[in-house]
Amino acid sequence: MSVFWSYWIAGLTSIFLVFLAVLFYICFRRGMIFTGVEQGEALKHVYDQDLYELDQPLPRWWSYLFILMFGIGLIYLAFYPGVVAWGNHLGWASTRDHAVYLDSEIESVSYDQYHKERAYAEETYAQVLAPYATRPYPELMRDPQAQQVGARLFQQNCVQCHGTDAQGRKGYPNLTDKSWIYGGSFARIEESIRNGRRGLMPARGGLPLSDEDVEILVQYIRSLSDLPHDAEGANQGHQVYMKGCFACHGMQGQGNIYIGAPNLVDRAWLYGGDETSLRQTLLKGRQGVMPLWQDKLDPIKIRLLTAYVAGLSQLKDEDTSD
């Protein structure tokens, strides 16, 4: 607030206080100064020839309440900046610099409190989680307590995308089947959680495909997973597929876990396997992001979460490679 407006408000506040003081005086000392008659006597207002208006004092309760409110107002002005230009006993001000100072103080207190509580929690739980740091994944999968911790981590961090039942939804992978876009070994699952993933399917596969090419390619893709399709269109679509789609999805359409190219033969469709969804995928492309968690979860928590996710798809001890 500028200096001008500070004094403007100070002036208006002072005038209003003087006005209230004068009004207070009038209420208690009206007398002949303002009415021309003594208090309690009839005024010169007559109605219907016999109805007189008397100059009666205000009720005592109203007068005392008025005094009380006036006193409270003065006390408030002494402690808070009602008269901004002249300061106040609390040192509070509505200037920008002071507001920034208060915000920084509040933020600093909140920041310190948060980090103290977080440090305490991490220290406490570190002792509980430490035994899991070196245990093999198969043991963690068979340990009920480890699975319970993993389930809680999943509920806190993963259900927003993959759902409470971990079966995902359109655009978010199902974690309960064995169709892993980036691989389902313990190492690959841990890598996905720790570093995140970023998938990209370019529009029209990044190829000069016509709308007709897209239509017959849809039929070929559906034929790979034995879904109803047009046989003639599928045969023609194979030729379109070999123009470049095989580079990511493989000659047989089985995908590539190292670049995140989905398997096209297992009927596990991330964006839908019906003709409309496939057509949309080919024409517009798809983009997917799995955020990295190494900045939010420590290595032991990532390990427990990996064991839990692996257990969702009944990964066996021997399933250690893709």
pLDDT at position 51 is 76
pLDDT at position 317 is 47
pLDDT at position 28 is 66
Dig out the tokens for 165 from the structure: 């039942």
In three-state form (DSSP H/G/I as H, E/B as E, the rest C), the secondary structure along 165-232 is CCCCECCECCCCCCCCCCCCCHHHHHHHHHHCEEEEECHHHHCCCCHHHHHHHHHHHHHHCCCCCCHH
pLDDT at position 33 is 45
CA 213, chain centre distance (Å)? 42
Task: Assess contact for 299 and 133: CB atoms under 8 A.
Answer: yes
| pLDDT mean over 156-185 | 93
Any idea which of 47-56, 83-92, 154-163 has the lowest mean pLDDT?
Answer: 83-92
At 200-231, the pLDDT tens digits run 999 999 999 999 999 999 999 999 999 999 99
At 56-82, the pLDDT tens digits run 666 778 778 888 888 887 787 777 666
At 250-265, the pLDDT tens digits run 999 999 999 999 999 9
Residue 318: pLDDT band (50, 70, 90) is very low
Residues 6+ apart with CB under 8 A from 99: none
Strand-pairing partners, residue 288, are 199
Residue ranges of alpha helices (H) inside the chain are 3-28, 31-35, 60-79, 96-129, 137-142, 144-157, 159-162, 186-195, 211-224, 231-241, 246-249, 275-284, 299-312
Task: Assess contact for 282 and 220: CB atoms under 8 A.
Answer: no
